[in-house]
């Protein structure tokens, strides 16, 4: 009786340890999803969209996205991680159920009958402190984190496929622009050669024209290799070993890319999968910390057993079994500080996951602010380049007529041509950057892929 009272008193004393963890990092994280941030105003052309795939409308692009979702190795690895987390939950949940084991032993001795023994044992640990339940909850939040990470990888993959398609279109247009420049330079080179043969031009004019043509040919070679590298990068995203331009939707010009609207940025950030994963990690670590605290508490286990013996296996299979029931109360008294050290480790893990959440949130705010600022800046740059290109084309037409009349030399004419095509290439670069930035902004706002 005294031993029982002592055990109960010890259990009550130790039960106070379970209430020592009062962390609320997950609640703080849930309240802090970007509220209080002074967001930049969005341009008027911003539109309300719900998925990344709504941003770009190109026939055939959805097929590429589906191919990437099915064949990208990185995404498949993340899917395996999610399945592993779900399997770990089944392991944790199994500890809450009774365990059943059976055994059959046989002994043969000289000058004596054979002896067989059979047993059936049922054991169960009473989860009086909800320790096992907390372990299951920790694995559930680990699954939620893995699921959110899978969503993040999926969204990033789709965005990369869309950007990869835009990059291929960009280099195709750069090549077309440079080929048009080369054709014009070759034509002028023929004109200069004819003028030189008739005594109206100088040999230096012909050398300058040939130099410009050679430089243009070098640019085309560089752009073609950049295009090939972009195709190889896109092939990796799709899970292929090879990809050609003919495998992609025809893109003679950039497709329209919508500008996503940030009507309620604090809600938009809350749906970012990386932020959801960071929050789930906090929850998982908090439950693991509760488990660490409850490891200081006593545990109660029950064991029921049936056993029998006989001279043959059939006789040993519970012909006349003996049953027993054992109840056991165990409490840790001294383990060299191991349990307390585990508590400290888990509390540090919670704090670390909290700061990981804060880092993710700050990165999310920065990405949204950068995306909005880039949209405004690139729009102004694009308009300025468009105006400059229009002026350069008019100047190019004027200089062409003046050169044919002998009013300007070849260096002035080539300089105007170079400026015109350089401005066209720069405007293509700005257009690509603007469209790519809109995809990045949609990703920053937490836009995903429709199921």
**Each residue of 303-352: pLDDT tens digit?**
888 777 777 766 666 667 777 777 788 888 777 788 889 898 999 999 99
- Is a pLDDT exceeding 70 seen at residue 438? yes
d(CA 441, CA 55): 11
pLDDT of 254: 82
Per-residue pLDDT tens over the stretch 46-60:
777 778 888 888 888
Percent of the chain with pLDDT over 70: 88
Domains of the chain (ranges, CATH numbers): 20-95+142-296+337-444 (1.20.1600.10), 96-126+297-331 (2.20.200.10)
Q: What is the mean pLDDT of the chain?
A: 84
Reported as type and span, the H/E element at residue 99 is: strand 99-107
Residue 6 has pLDDT above 80, yes or no: no
pLDDT confidence of residue 18: 45
Q: How confident is the model at residue 225 (pLDDT cuts 50, 70, 90)?
A: very high
Tokens of 288: 């693991």
For residue 88, pLDDT beyond 60: yes
Contacts of residue 451, Cβ cutoff 8 Å, sequence gap at least 6: none
From CA 236, how far away is CA 241, in angstroms rounded?
A: 7
DSSP string, 337-399: THHHHHHHHHHHHHHHHHHHHHHHHHHHHHHHHHHHHHHHHHHHHHHHHHHHHHHHHHHHHHH
Sequence-distant (≥ 6) Cβ neighbours of residue 293 within 8 angstroms: 17, 18, 20, 21, 343
pLDDT at 405 over 70: yes
Q: Give residue 179's pLDDT band: very low, low, confident or very high (50, 70, 90).
A: very high
Rounded to an integer, the average pLDDT of 218-238 is 95
**How far, in Å, CA of 431 to CA of 424, rounded?**
10
Tell me what the mean pLDDT of segment 62-74 comes to: 92
Rg of the Cα atoms in the chain = 36
Query: Does residue 203 or residue 335 have the better pLDDT?
Result: 335
Q: Residue 227 above 90 pLDDT?
A: yes
Summarised one tens digit per residue, pLDDT across range 359-378 is: 999 999 999 999 999 999 99
pLDDT of residue 167: 94
What pLDDT score does 352 carry?
A: 95
pLDDT tens digits, one per residue of 89-104: 888 888 888 888 888 7
Alpha-carbon distance of 150 to 85, in angstroms, equals 12
12-23 tens-digit pLDDT:
444 544 445 667
387 has pLDDT over 90 = yes
Mutual angle of helices 338-404 and 273-294, in 10-degree steps: 170
pLDDT range class, residue 289, cuts 50, 70, 90: very high
pLDDT tens per residue across span 231-269: 999 999 999 999 999 888 876 678 777 777 655 554 558
Burial of residue 69 (number of CB atoms within 10 Å: 0-12, 13-18, 19+):
middle
């Amino acid at each position: 009786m005294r031993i029982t009272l002592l055990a109960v008193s010890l259990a009550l004393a130790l039960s106070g340890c379970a209430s020592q963890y009062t962390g609320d990092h997950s609640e703080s994280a849930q309240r802090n999803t970007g509220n209080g941030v002074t967001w930049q105003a969005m341009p008027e052309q911003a539109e309300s969209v719900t998925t990344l795939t709504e941003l770009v409308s190109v026939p055939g692009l959805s097929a590429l996205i589906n191919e990437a979702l099915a064949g990208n190795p990185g995404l498949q690895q993340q899917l395996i991680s999610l399945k592993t987390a779900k399997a770990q939950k089944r392991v944790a949940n199994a500890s809450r159920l009774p365990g059943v084991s059976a055994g059959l032993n046989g002994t043969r001795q000289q000058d004596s009958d054979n002896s067989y023994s059979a047993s059936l044992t049922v054991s169960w640990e009473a989860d009086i402190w909800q320790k096992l339940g907390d372990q299951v909850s920790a694995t559930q939040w680990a699954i939620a984190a893995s699921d959110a990470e899978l969503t993040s990888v999926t969204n990033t993959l789709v965005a990369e496929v869309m950007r990869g398609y835009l990059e291929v279109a960009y280099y195709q247009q750069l090549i077309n622009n440079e080929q048009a420049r080369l054709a014009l330079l070759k034509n002028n080179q023929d004109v200069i050669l004819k003028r030189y043969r008739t005594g109206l031009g100088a040999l230096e004019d012909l050398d300058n024209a040939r130099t410009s043509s050679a430089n243009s040919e070098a640019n085309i070679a560089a752009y073609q290799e950049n295009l090939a590298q972009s195709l190889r990068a896109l092939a990796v995203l799709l899970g292929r070993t090879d990809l050609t331009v003919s495998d992609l939707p025809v893109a003679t010009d950039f497709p329209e890319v919508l500008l996503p609207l940030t009507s309620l940025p604090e809600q938009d950030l809350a749906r970012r999968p990386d932020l959801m994963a960071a929050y789930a990690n906090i929850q998982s670590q908090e439950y693991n910390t509760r488990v660490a605290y409850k490891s200081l508490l006593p545990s109660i286990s029950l064991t029921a057993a049936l056993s029998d013996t006989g001279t043959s296996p059939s006789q040993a299979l519970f012909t006349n079994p003996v049953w027993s029931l054992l109840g056991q109360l165990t409490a840790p008294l001294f383990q060299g500080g191991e349990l307390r050290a585990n508590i400290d480790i888990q509390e540090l893990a919670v704090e670390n996951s909290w700061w990981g959440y804060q880092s993710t949130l700050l990165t999310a705010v920065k990405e949204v602010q950068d995306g909005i600022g880039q949209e405004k800046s690139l729009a102004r740059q694009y308009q300025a380049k468009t105006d400059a290109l229009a002026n350069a084309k008019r100047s190019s037409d004027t200089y062409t007529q003046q050169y044919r009349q002998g009013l300007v030399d070849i260096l002035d004419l080539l300089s105007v041509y170079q400026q015109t095509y350089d401005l066209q290439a720069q405007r293509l670069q700005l257009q690509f950057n603007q469209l790519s930035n809109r995809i990045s902004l949609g990703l920053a706002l937490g836009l995903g892929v429709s199921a």
